[in-house]
């Protein structure tokens, strides 16, 4: 068989395999020609990207739960020069880090079930400060082991997932860098009773 014949045969086999895979995904339902072509494209792209969605990496070693690694920083935070960021997003949790090579590393974690790191370390604090707005509370503290803690939480009547930032401090410059970035965070509070467009109760 000629080389062209081999190529045509391979394309036909690939098309048949793609059709079989689509039938398995759809539970035996037939697809319209246009939808079939779209299905072939989607299946092909998934195969090329290792089964992940385009523009998104799935990491299996992020706490071993296959959480998504996303590039965006928490809202409002602006990275200082030379700092990098990575963030793992789970179904109802978020964790990540902001760091500079051979320098400060800030880690953060939060979610609907997250605890308050400042309150959890209350007996081990050198100092603490607190600031409130109409909807949120920001707590800043330093532990005996020179760990800077910053916790954002919602005030009564509002629902905002708790978010904790923490970093080991080695110099006064570390404190300045950490607070310049972390205090830019802008929580997105939702009034209780308004989550689905209802009136505030």
In this structure, the answer to whether residues 102 and 141 fall within a common structural domain is yes
Q: Residue 159's domain is classified under what CATH number?
A: 3.40.1000
Same domain, 167 and 121: yes
* pLDDT at 45 (0 to 100): 36
Kindly state whether residue 201 falls inside one of the protein's structural domains: no
Q: Could you give the CA distance from residue 32 to residue 50 in angstroms, rounded to a whole number?
A: 26
- The verdict on 42 and 63 lying in the same domain is no
How do strand 158-159 and strand 190-191 relate by DSSP bridges?
antiparallel
Q: What is the pLDDT of residues 47-75, one digit of tens each?
A: 333 333 333 444 434 555 555 566 688 89
Same domain, 86 and 178: yes
Residue 197 lies in a domain: no
pLDDT for residue 170:
97
Note whether 111 and 181 are same-domain residues.
yes
| Same domain flag for 79 and 163 | yes
Q: Which two tokens stand for residue 104?
A: 């400060």
Residues 41 and 63 in one domain: no
One domain, residues 175 and 136: yes
Tell me how crowded residue 61 is: count the other CB atoms within 10 A of its CB.
10
pLDDT < 70 positions in the chain? 1-71, 90-92, 112, 192-201
30 in a domain, yes or no? Answer: yes
Domain count, the chain: 2
Q: In terms of Cα–Cα distance, which of 74, 66, 123 is closest to 90?
A: 66
Phi, psi at 169, each rounded to 5°: -100, 130
CB proximity list for 191: less than 8 A, separation 6 or greater? 157, 158, 159, 200
- Residue pair 88/63 in contact (Cβ under 8 Å)? The answer is yes
Same domain, 36 and 119: no
Q: What stretch of H or E contains 57?
A: strand 57-58
| Same domain membership, residue 63 and residue 44 | no
Domain presence at residue 196 = no
Residue 198 lies in a domain: no
pLDDT given at position 111? 78
Residue-number span of the structural domain to which 94 is assigned = 57-191
Hey, which residues does 140 pair with through a beta bridge?
A: 129, 150
Whether 199 maps to a domain, the answer reads no
Q: Does 114 share its domain with 177? A: yes
Q: What one-character-per-residue DSSP string does 115-181 give?
A: --HHHHTGGGEEEEEEEE-SSEEEEEEEETT-EEEEEEEEPTTEE--EEEEEEE--SHHHHHHHHHH
Residue 200 lies in a domain: no
Q: How far apart are CA 193 and CA 13, in angstroms?
A: 56
**176 and 79 within one domain:** yes
pLDDT reported for residue 1: 52
Please say whether the beta carbons of 165 and 150 come within 8 A.
yes
């Amino acid at each position: 068989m000629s080389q062209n014949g081999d190529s045509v045969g391979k394309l036909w086999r690939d098309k048949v395999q793609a059709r079989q895979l689509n039938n398995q995904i759809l539970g035996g339902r037939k697809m319209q020609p246009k939808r079939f072509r779209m299905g072939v494209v989607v299946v092909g792209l998934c195969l090329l990207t290792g089964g992940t969605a385009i523009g998104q990496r799935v990491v299996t070693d992020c706490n071993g739960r296959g959480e998504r690694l996303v590039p965006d920083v928490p809202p409002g935070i602006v990275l200082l020069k030379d700092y990098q960021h990575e963030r793992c997003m789970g179904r109802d949790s978020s964790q990540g880090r902001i760091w500079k090579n051979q320098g400060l590393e800030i880690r953060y974690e939060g979610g609907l079930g997250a605890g308050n790191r400042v309150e959890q370390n209350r007996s081990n604090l050198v100092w603490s400060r607190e600031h409130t707005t109409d909807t949120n509370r920001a707590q800043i503290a330093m532990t005996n082991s020179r760990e800077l803690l910053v916790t954002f939480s919602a005030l009564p009547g509002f629902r905002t997932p708790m978010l904790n930032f923490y970093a080991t401090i080695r110099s006064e410059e570390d404190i300045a860098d950490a607070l310049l970035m972390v205090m830019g965070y802008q929580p997105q509070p939702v009034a209780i009773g308004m989550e689905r467009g209802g009136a505030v109760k």
